Structure formats: structure tokens, C-alpha cells
Chain A
């Protein structure tokens, strides 16, 4: 145990010495990795906020199932009950033609006066279906739409907020792109660490040869490099986080102003503490992995 501790202390000292010896290349690596993590983090924040917008406007996301004229009031109530049992539906409101007419101006911004003049109500009865919170994706809306169309007496189904499916598709796209870019950036980070550690390793070949002659175990010789990678990654993570926070504070007012039309509460949010820790831990992990990759490439060591 004492021996393991002494070796651990040696490994820490060797890693620190190594970082000092290659301070310039380590600093460049940290900055490059920080930029990669910054981009990835910016995507993360954007995606988080876009998803938040969908959730917030979600209670406006309703489907209207228009009923055929033959459906009477009793049948309408029965249909509403059946629709409410569809997976993903939060609640269903049965709307009579009269109610529809009463709501017409509010919903459309167009006066109902002409209809009243004609004296005959052209609006059909409908079921107003709200989707369950936390599960308001276009796919879910589509599933519910198909189920509603399968009900007897339903003539046509239309989705409420027209922009939402498009927006959610855009969100999906951004999410996918973010994932792809995140992957590319992760690989870039790995390559940066791996090549930096590779350089450090080459610079210390003599030292390693001598250590091996003195009976250093493979682990004792390699751990400092893994630690150096880990430290570089973690530093890059912290740096990226600080820069992100700075950019966030600077950009926030403009972004919030431009989003104000969407919802009353257009507060843009930063990473939660857990997400911030995850960014730094992710950087550290990538650093460790990059160093491990670089050492694995050297089979003779």
C-alpha cells in the first residue's frame, strides 16, 4: 500500500514534469481542444433551448378531428371517450358546431358575422385532442392523427400549430447535425491529444528506456502520459465552459429578444451544473482516451 502510494506520487510528479517539459505543445493542445469542446457545447446549448421551446409551446399543439354531419351529440361524446384512450393523448374535448362557431373569431381572427347572416352554421363538430406533455413530437402527433382517422365518423384530422411540426423537424435536423458535429469534434479532440501525447512520448524516449532498465513497470511508465492527456482534456473542458459562459452572457439579450414572439417566457438557459460538469468530464475522458490511443499505437513501449 505504501509502495503503491509512493508510485502514485511518482506518477503525478512525472506527469507534472512532463507537462512542464512540453508546456508549449500542451498549451496549444488545450486551446485547440477547448475550441472543439466550445463548438460542441454551443450546439448542446442551442439544442437544449430549441427543445425547450417545443415543450413550452406544446400545450398549444392540438389535433382537430372533424366529424361527419351524421354524428350526433351522444355519438360525439362516445367518440371523445374513445379518442382519449389513444396512446399519447392527454385529453379530448368534444366541440359542437355551435361551440365551433362561437370560437371562430377568437381562433381565426375573422369575424363570424357573415355566417350569422346566412343563418346556417357551416362549421362541423370536432374533437379537440391535446397531446400528452413531455411527448410532443411530430411522430407522436402523426401516430395520434392516424388513430383518430381510424375512428368511425371522423372525416378529417388537422394539426393545430402549423409551424410546430416544421420546427420540430428542424430541431431533429439540428440535433442530428449536432450529434454528427459533436462526433467529428470528439474525434478531432482525440487526434489532438493523441498527437500531443505522441510528441511528449517521443521527447521522453530516453527517459523511458532508462526507467525500463531500472525496473519500472509498464504501468508506472505509461500512467504519467495518461494523466497528462486527462489533465489536458479537463483543462480544455474548463476553458471551453468559461468561454461558453462568456459568449452566453454576451449573446443572451439579443437571442431572447428575437425569441420573444414564441412564448411569453423566452428565457434562454445555460448548462445546468450537471451538464457543465459533464462537459469538463467529457473533455477529461477524451484526453484520457486520446492518450491511451497514442500509447496503444506504440507497441514496443
Chain B
């Protein structure tokens, strides 16, 4: 079994590069229209825009959950439009994803949920246990590893999901409205956690419609407006 075999990434190729990307689910309407941008190693990028602006569609393309209608999407050296179905898992093992509704599995405890990400990568038992422990420690939940995730608070569940996304040591972390279901205090906590991931070299793209949250971090922000890229700049740092 080939492990993550991909077109080797040229030395200075950005981790993510979109060139004139459009996506149309139905003829005549565009979820994304002529979007171009690049994201480099260790960058933290916010993706903002009203509901329906195309944030989720864009993130889905980055883990090959969707193909562009036209234009080029390159992720970690893969050309998403031309990716063969068999190669998709190899790309996804290098991309961590976090969703609004956590997507944890019932019938499995916290540890097993996180462990799943290593199971599908074929990481052997002893190593997997150690890595799961350290990922849970990183999000401060190692004491709860034998707990049923449903017994945890929303913020804790999202931290489990983040641990699961990070335990495979992805080069790219995608988060789609990760704080959409959380109250403000937890929102800040989770966002800080995600931001700290970028500080360790993983590129992070966070989709959110919460502008105040974005302003608090003062980082590069891509603004989508009805599928078009309406802005690509560092937002002013504002206090919340």
C-alpha cells in the first residue's frame, strides 16, 4: 500500500493554490466564481462571508470532497480536479478537518474517536496510543479519554474533534464554522487552540461568518461574497 504518495511538492509550491476556480452546482448559478489565492506553510487564514457565500464549498474542494467546475485547485501537490478516486484518501490523510457539529462517533469513547484517525493510517497500536494521549493532552482532555463524547460539553467535544484532526499530523487543517455551536467564551478558547496549531507550522484555514472573532486575531482574511473573492487582507485587530 502506497503511503501518501503524491506528486512531490516543489520546494516553494504553496500548500494550497487556487487559480480561477469556479464551482457551479446548477447551470447558471455559481457557488464559487473565479477565485484565486494561495496559502503557505504555517499560515492562519480566515475565510469569511455571509451564509451561502461559498465557504463550505471552498473548504470541501480542499479535501477533495468536491471538484472545481473550472480552474485549478492544488492542495499539497495534488491537482484536485484530476485526482483519481483511489488517490483521494492519501490526500485526506494529510489534511485535518473540523466541523461545526463535531462529527464524533457515538458507541466509541473519546480515545477511540481520536484513535480512528490513526487506525485508518495504519499506525501500530503502541505508537497510536502514545500519539492519541499526547493529542488529547494538547487539547486538555487526556483525563476524559475513556468518557463517552456525548457526556462532554460542546466545547469539549470540539476539542476532541480537533485532537482527532491533529493526531495524524496534517500539513493543512480545515475548520468549517468550528465555533458555530459554541457560546462566546468557548468560542474564544477553541479559536485560540486552532490558532496555536498554525504557530507550530500547520497551515490552517478557518471558515466563519463571525467577523468579531476574526478581528480578534488580526490575521489574513479571505472574504467571499456570493462566490466571488471580495477581499484578501489582514483584518484590523479589534477587541471583543
A residues apposed to B, CB below 8 Å: 2-7, 9-10, 13, 17, 21, 206-207, 210-218, 220
Contacts and interface: CB of A to CB of B under 8 A. Distances in A.
Interface of B: 1, 3, 63, 65, 85-86, 88-95, 97, 103, 105, 107, 116-117, 119-125, 128, 164, 168
A218 B65 CA distance: 15
Given A215-B91, A215-B93, A217-B89, A210 B122 contact: no
For the residues of A in contact with B, the DSSP-based class is helix
B22 to A, nearest CB: 24
B92 A6 contact: no
Given A3-B1, A3-B3, A207-B105, A214 B117 contact: yes
A194 to B, nearest CB: 24
A17 B107 contact: yes
B107 A6 contact: no
B92 A215 contact: yes
A216 B115 CA distance: 13
Contacts of A217: 1, 86, 89, 120
A282 to B, nearest CB: 31
A4 B119 CA distance: 11
Contact of B116 (A5, A206, A211): A211
B91 A6 contact: no
Given A2-B122, A6-B123, A9-B125, 7 more contacts: A3-B123, A10-B119, A13-B119, A210-B116, A214-B92, A214-B120, A218-B85
Nearest to A221: B120
A210 B92 contact: no
Q: Which 5 A-B pairs have the closest CB atoms?
A: A3-B122, A215-B92, A215-B93, A216-B120, A10-B119
Contacts of A21: 107
A48 to B, nearest CB: 45
B122 A7 contact: yes
B122 A4 contact: yes
Nearest to B96: A214
Contacts of B168: 214-215
Given A3-B1, A3-B3, A215-B93, A210 B103 contact: yes
Nearest to A3: B122
7 contacts: A3-B3, A6-B124, A7-B119, A215-B95, A215-B120, A217-B1, A218-B89
B124 A5 contact: yes
A3 B90 CA distance: 14
A6 B129 CA distance: 12
A213 B103 CA distance: 11
Nearest to B95: A215
Given A211-B116, A213-B92, A214-B92, A4 B124 contact: no
A213 B63 contact: yes
Contacts of A215: 88-95, 120-121, 168
Nearest to B117: A214
A218 B89 CA distance: 8
A156 to B, nearest CB: 74
A6 B120 CA distance: 9
Given A3-B122, A4-B122, A214 B1 contact: no
A10 B85 CA distance: 22
Contact of B120 (A2, A4, A206, A211): A211
A17 B116 CA distance: 13
B116 A6 contact: no
B124 A220 contact: no
Contacts of A7: 1, 119-120, 122
Nearest to B115: A10
A167 to B, nearest CB: 58
A46 B159 CA distance: 64
Contact of B105 (A5, A210, A212): A210
Most-contacted residue by chain B among A4, A17, A210 (CB, 10 A): A210
Nearest to B91: A215
Given A6-B119, A17-B107, A216 B124 contact: no
